[in-house]
Each structure stands twice: as structure tokens, then as C-alpha cells.
Amino acid sequence: MNSREFKIAVVPGDGIGMEITEQALKILNKISKKYHTKFNYVNLKVGGCSIDAYGEALTEETLKKCRECDALFLGAIGGPKWDNFLGDKRPEKALLTLRSELGLYANLRPTKVFDELKSASPLKDSLLENGIDILVVRELIGGIYFGKRGTVIEDGIEKAYDTESYTLEEVERIAHVAFESAMKRRKKVTSIDKANVLDSSRLWRKVVTEVSKEYPKVQLNHMYIDNAAMQLVRDPSQFDVILTNNIFGDILSDEASMLTGSIGMLASWSVGKGTYGMYEPIHGSAPDIAGKNIANPLAQILSAAMMLDYSFNMTEAAKDIENAVKNVLRKGYRTVDIWIEGMINVGTKEMGELVLEEI
Ligand code: NAD
């Protein structure tokens, strides 16, 4: 087998970021040996830890180093220590800058219920019978999170505003990601908007409908965001690919994650042009449990699997990790967020070790 090499920007971040990334790197090191592939890690600080070290959440030098790598592997960013920083100085803003500077306009979040974790889902068994296997495709570097905003005093009254806006091209490129993803899945796209109220949503709907004509094998339906939020818990099996904008995707993907039992189980990746991707768990830095060795590292471990699959074309190695996670769950090991009566409670490090043993 030929030996290959990849350069990975490793950004553990804040809170539980460090703990869960440490576990995922152990797995990557074993994969490296097993699949004769060298991973060169470039350790970088972004977020609160970067403010502490360099006075800003994302430095030019860090951004440059991220660009020079083949992929970016991120833990989580932010925490109460830096909550007093305002606007552009906040750690979370660094994440938005990172995504936009790297041109990562599509965020893909698969939501699948592991058979072994069905009992951890808050949904009734009858709603899980047909399975949940959803891919949320969220636009990541446009919309209200990047639109014009401000706080002003008008006629003596304090007022704040944020602007939702999309260009035709921005909608077009994310729509293609959704339809292409659907072609590899069950060939259904549900595009979610608020076209009954918002102009930006009417443009969204028009462009998505137009793009759909290039994918005649994919069935497209449109749904309003309020209905979608309800349908996700009423009948989640109706969804295959959900295509939506930045803010609706942010909210819906967290809702979808809970259907699977825990936010600590779900990985995501963000892509633009080419194979460069940013891989991260969907949860935040969980300051309430940081440093206690109780965080679930599986979302971060599954993010590593995604990186192998999508950026490095190491599909077999990715499957190896996914199967290892399934085996550990099948044997009854659970971190506290997914623990139920009768299962064996383990900590962050122990969960990492157990997955490692299965590879
Ligand atoms: P959060 O996702 O950090 O935590 C929400 C809840 O889920 C908490 O009770 C937490 O303990 C639990 N949780 C999260 N991940 C877990 C895991 N792996 N295992 C077990 N339990 C887990 O969201 P939050 O509390 O709203 O935000 C905390 C900080 O994280 C904030 O500063 C926020 O801005 C930041 N944040 C960062 C990202 C990111 O880096 N991508 C995403 C969301 C929030």
C-alpha cells in the first residue's frame, strides 16, 4: 500500500473542545498506522484561548496556517470567560470569520439514530419505527449572520437591527450541494423558507426550483420554517435532505440533533470548492461540564471519520471508526448524556479508549 500524507489544522478551542479533540486524535493516530497514512498536525488556537494568548480570537497567522492545510479539525469555541467581549471581538465571531475566509459555504449535518441509542431519543417508539436519516444542508456564510446590523438611537428610542439577504448565486451554489447530496441518498430535497413573509425566502424558493430542473430524479418540496419545526418532531422519517438558510439551519439542526438522543453524538462538516473541509461536532464548548471528564467525545470522533471520508477519500478508514463507535455502544458503554438504566457509565477518556480498542 502506498503511504500518503495529509496536513491537518487542529483547533481544539475552548471548554470541552480540548478533551474531546484529544480522544479523536488518539483514534486518528491509530488509523494513521493501520492505513499507512501520515497525518501532520498543525496545532492552532482560535476563540477564547486565542484571546488569552494573542489578544484576539483569530489571528492572521492562524488563518494563514489553516489555509495551508488539507483540512481543519475543530473542537468548540467560546465560554462565559469571554462573554463580556462585544460584537466582532467575541470568540464565536472568529468561527464565522474562519468559515467565510475559507469559503466554506455549505454545512452538512447528518442526523441518524443509532439503533443502539433509540431509547435515548425523546420521541415515542412509534415515531422512530421508520428510522431517522436526515442530512441538513445549511447555507453557512450568508444571510442574517453576515448581513448589515447595528444598534442606533432613533427619535430617542434605542433600536437594533439585523439584515437577512441572499444573492441568486449564494442560493444557487448551496442548492447544488443539496441536490447532489440527495442523488447519493433517497433523492428527496425539502427546501425550507418563510416565503409567505420574506423577500429573501421568495428568491430562495425561486432559485431552488430553478436548480431542481437540473436534477429530474430528485423530488423537491418546499416547506415553511414554522411547519418544518413541527414536522421534524411529528414525522421525522418524511425528510431525506433538508436544504435551508443560515439561521433556519442553525435552529433546525439542533432540533434534529435532539431526535437522536444527544447533541454529543452528531458531527458536521463544512465545505466550499474542492476537497478542503472543516470538521466539527455540532455542539458548543459546554462550559457547564468542561474539565470534568464527562463530555461525550463521539461527535468529535465521528467528525474525524467524516474528514477521512470526504477530504482524504479514506472511506474504509471512516467506516472502521463508525463501526468501532457502534460496537462500543452495542456493548452498553455510555457517557452520561446518553446513559440510561442498565448501561455502563464511562467518562470522556474511557470512551475514547474503548473506541480505540475496537479499531
Ligand atoms: P453547548 O452545545 O455547548 O451545550 C448545550 C448543552 O449540551 C449543555 O448542557 C452541555 O453540557 C451539553 N453538551 C454539549 N456538548 C456535549 C457533549 N459532547 N457531551 C455531553 N453534553 C454536551 O451550547 P451552549 O451552552 O449554548 O454554548 C456554550 C458555549 O459554546 C457558548 O459560548 C456558545 O457560544 C458556544 N458555541 C460554540 C459552538 C462552536 O464552537 N461551533 C457552537 C455552539 C455554541
pLDDT of 121: 82
Q: Tell me the mean pLDDT in the region 333-355.
A: 94
β partners of residue 225? none
Alpha carbons 285 and 337: distance in angstroms, whole number: 15
- Binned at pLDDT 50, 70 and 90, residue 258 comes out as confident
- Mutating to test ligand 1, I would choose from 83, 285, 288 the residue with most ligand atoms within 8 A of its C-beta, which is 285
272, 104 contact by CB (below 8 A): yes
pLDDT of 122: 84
Q: Would you say residue 262 has pLDDT above 90? A: no
Are 1-104+263-359 and 122-259 equal in CATH topology? Answer: yes
Our answer on whether the CB atom of 14 is closer than 6 Å to any ligand 1 atom is no
Q: Is 77 annotated as a binding residue?
A: no
Q: Tell me the mean pLDDT in the region 138-159.
A: 95
Q: Would you say residue 2 has pLDDT above 70? A: no
Q: Would you say residue 3 has pLDDT above 70? A: no
Cα 348 to ligand 1 centre (Å): 15
Q: Would you say residue 52 has pLDDT above 60? A: yes
Strand 106-112: give its sheet, edge to edge: 37-43, 4-13, 71-76, 277-281, 267-271, 106-112, 133-139, 241-244, 188-193, 219-224
Whether the CA torsion 18, 290, 335, 107 is positive or negative: it is negative
Q: Would you say residue 1 has pLDDT above 70? A: no
pLDDT of 127: 84
- Binned at pLDDT 50, 70 and 90, residue 183 comes out as very high
- Binned at pLDDT 50, 70 and 90, residue 125 comes out as confident
Q: In the structure grid, which three cell numbers stand for residue 223, read together?
A: 416547506
CA 56 to chain centre: 24
Q: How many CB atoms lie within 10 A of CB 118?
A: 16
- Name the more confident of 340 and 169: 169
pLDDT of 264: 86
Q: Would you say residue 177 has pLDDT above 60? A: yes
Closest atom of ligand 1 to CA, residue 337: 20
- Binned at pLDDT 50, 70 and 90, residue 340 comes out as confident
Our answer on whether the CB atom of 261 is closer than 6 Å to any ligand 1 atom is no
Catalytic residues: 145, 194, 226, 250, 254
In 53-128, where do the E strands start and end?
71-76, 106-112
Alpha carbons 236 and 133: distance in angstroms, whole number: 8
| Average pLDDT along the chain | 94
Our answer on whether the CB atom of 77 is closer than 6 Å to any ligand 1 atom is yes
Q: Would you say residue 134 has pLDDT above 60? A: yes
Fold for the domain defined by 122-259? Isopropylmalate Dehydrogenase (3.40.718)
Q: Would you say residue 120 has pLDDT above 80? A: no
Q: Is 70 annotated as a binding residue?
A: no
- Mutating to test ligand 1, I would choose from 16, 262, 263 the residue with most ligand atoms within 8 A of its C-beta, which is 263
pLDDT in tens, 265-306: 889 999 998 889 999 998 999 999 999 999 999 999 999 999
pLDDT of 113: 83
Q: Tell me the mean pLDDT in the region 15-42.
A: 98
What homologous superfamily does CATH list for 1-104+263-359? Isopropylmalate Dehydrogenase (3.40.718.10)
Our answer on whether the CB atom of 19 is closer than 6 Å to any ligand 1 atom is no
71, 42 contact by CB (below 8 A): no
Q: Would you say residue 89 has pLDDT above 90? A: no
pLDDT of 156: 95
Domain parsing of the chain, residue ranges: 1-104+263-359, 122-259
3, 36 contact by CB (below 8 A): yes
